[in-house]
Structure 1
């Protein structure tokens, strides 16, 4: 791969330098060395490089910059990222800054210390309260801001409300259509019932569109943010005249809605997640984890499973571990929200009934010194599971 990269750089150098080099070479060498690489081969080589190399080579010339911003190239890079193991994206926030880390998500032995793939500091404080998980490499933030952690950029979308008085009371969700490789943002009224939410497609240079009447039941939002997988966006909602919360599903491609009933469960602390390819609800207590999995696509049958975990109870309650979601391998993730010492994550495999603990920063004192932080500074931690690298930009 490095040989190809070197050839790519040489093939794009100014003509004077090329001419001087050719004069210095012998005729035999000149005939044996290719002075041009086809565009399709160039794109194929570039798509296989790490994103850091791609962003560096974007500065080589206007031609290469145009290659890297092509939708076909971005989709090709995303497809390769999807085929690889996803990463664990972690943000650490203190009063003086925010830090982003990308870690391997799989194949980490119990008790080991994991080093990041990359890390950087950002100044955007809106990341403290994300409104979505990592959806095909992008994250939705408050204020209708889109964050691409790979590129490190933030983009503010226009508000769906046309008048100032109409800009309050909207909540937003990020979805992805894998068939057409499109991200969409859905906006729904939070307090008032409505049957006409609004949607916008990222990168399509379009304005907000109103869902036509008859395609969406009148509803308002409940607490919590949505989950999107397999082209379906799920979020908690309330129907007019209905005594209980429901789950609303939104097909990102067709933009149709469907109502899913909640399972019969007393606890209201249900965490929406994905488990083994299906929508699932998770609740945790002192003894273990209860999992409700959606059995049918129409949303009327749920299966219930009870898993007695072996999380270290003393550490669980001392550090206030929270359920953070499930990995693509089916492991439940627990992690503290606030911590002072080395931060860690617990992986619980419900099928094997096994737990493993992974440290992600062994020496926090050294990290604090490098960031100019005092020992008394605490950190809040956000975790984004199943994250992939993306070159998507608007």
Structure 2
């Protein structure tokens, strides 16, 4: 027990000392509940988990929606970079502070990576962009009684260590399924959209919902526009966007409203057809859908690349896009597009880590580039990098 407390933060030690004489709820009542919530909401996620073990009263306070929403609000004010690192059948999660563009002073800096926890997986197929603190991972898993791998979707919370294996979506189609992870901020529901294809075009669409109560439901939804998904999806303000092509080979953006579960296809007209190029990456630029591609016409920038272009949607229905070209000296950046920070910096990071491990921040307004060395993280086979990650300590209920 002593060795466990040595690793607890100073603020958490202070709280534990207040309860060193007794752990009864009567003594806890001398500390106002609002003060307990105010103090604990400023602690790291691991300390929150320990504080929930102090007493029954503390446990009830720290699982209450008022506390978890307070913690999420504080975390949202200081989002982090999330690294999902794959090696030896495990996905290990690390976070690092997300620099503030306004306080940038040096083109080369360093930041420490904080380890959270790892989850076991057989064969990671894909890791989707985090939604409100949760991460969806698609895994090729050997299930009990089977000889071949089956596709399994699992929702993980790096802040609490919880994970939920989603039920398998069954279909009469024998072809593969394309899936997307979305979040409805109004109903606070996480959803996985899966579509099964015939001759590369979607013919059956299913939605799996994980609600705030932990209830899982799967249902078929109608889509009157058979289409072929051409990219990963990105969810912005409750709308899931992904590049797609119709049966008539018309390219555009498919919009899926996560709350109403309805589809809408928007054809992309010239001169913005480059925004749906197969190698572009969809990003969230200050709340607006945007598409970015390197001067090589790829989704990454290498040592000899000297430019990238970004299209930002001003009005998708009216086909109003703004186009931005950025040029820089060769050899400054080496990485894949990971997203755009709240401050408006485009982030690039290697998928196959080396030592030292660098993340690059491109300020789109100041036309400057920073290289940040991420310390305390290495030896992994592959790294997925995500921007604007928030920590959510709400416990997932499963039924």
Do the two structures share a fold, i.e. TM-score over 0.5? yes
User: As a proportion of its length, which structure holds more strand?
Assistant: 2
Shift of 1:129: 4.1
Shift of 1:151: 1.7
- What's the counterpart of residue 352 of structure 1? 366
Contact (CA 8 Å) 1:222, 1:237: kept in 2 or not?
yes
State the SS of the aligned residue for 1:114.
strand
Contact (CA 8 Å) 1:137, 1:389: kept in 2 or not?
yes
Contact (CA 8 Å) 2:290, 2:311: kept in 1 or not?
yes
- What's the counterpart of residue 255 of structure 1? 261
Shift of 1:76: 2.8
Quick one: structure 1 residues 127 and 43, their matched pair in 2 at CA, closer, same or farther if it must change by over 3 Å?
Answer: farther
Q: Distance in 1 between matches of 2:81 and 2:123?
A: 16
**Structure 2 residue aligned with 1:70, among 64, 69, 75?**
64
Shift of 1:57: 1.4
- What's the counterpart of residue 91 of structure 1? 84
User: As a proportion of its length, which structure holds more helix?
Assistant: 1
**Structure 2 residue aligned with 1:55, among 49, 54, 59?**
49
- 1:160 matches 2:153: no
Report Cα offsets for 1:122-155 as digits up to 9, x if no partner. 2524685434212111111102211111123321
Q: Distance in 2 between matches of 1:337 and 1:133?
A: 15
**Structure 2 residue aligned with 1:138, among 130, 134, 137?**
134
Quick one: structure 1 residues 249 and 15, their matched pair in 2 at CA, closer, same or farther if it must change by over 3 Å?
Answer: closer
State the SS of the aligned residue for 2:164.
strand
TM-score where L is the length of structure 1:
0.78
The higher radius of gyration belongs to 1
Q: Is there any run of 5+ residues in structure 2 with no aligned partner, and where?
A: 1-10, 139-151, 296-304
Quick one: structure 1 residues 311 and 92, their matched pair in 2 at CA, closer, same or farther if it must change by over 3 Å?
Answer: farther
Q: Distance in 2 between matches of 1:151 and 1:311?
A: 42
TM-score where L is the length of structure 2:
0.77
**Structure 2 residue aligned with 1:106, among 86, 92, 99?**
99
Quick one: structure 1 residues 295 and 61, their matched pair in 2 at CA, closer, same or farther if it must change by over 3 Å?
Answer: same
Shift of 1:103: 0.4
**Structure 2 residue aligned with 1:185, among 173, 184, 192?**
192
- 1:201 matches 2:210: yes
Contact (CA 8 Å) 2:116, 2:159: kept in 1 or not?
no
Q: May I ask how many residue pairs the two structures share in their alignment? A: 353
Contact (CA 8 Å) 1:148, 1:392: kept in 2 or not?
no
Quick one: structure 1 residues 3 and 338, their matched pair in 2 at CA, closer, same or farther if it must change by over 3 Å?
Answer: closer
Q: Distance in 2 between matches of 1:227 and 1:15?
A: 46
State the SS of the aligned residue for 1:238.
strand
Q: Is there any run of 5+ residues in structure 1 with no aligned partner, and where?
A: 19-33, 369-377
State the SS of the aligned residue for 1:73.
helix
State the SS of the aligned residue for 1:390.
coil
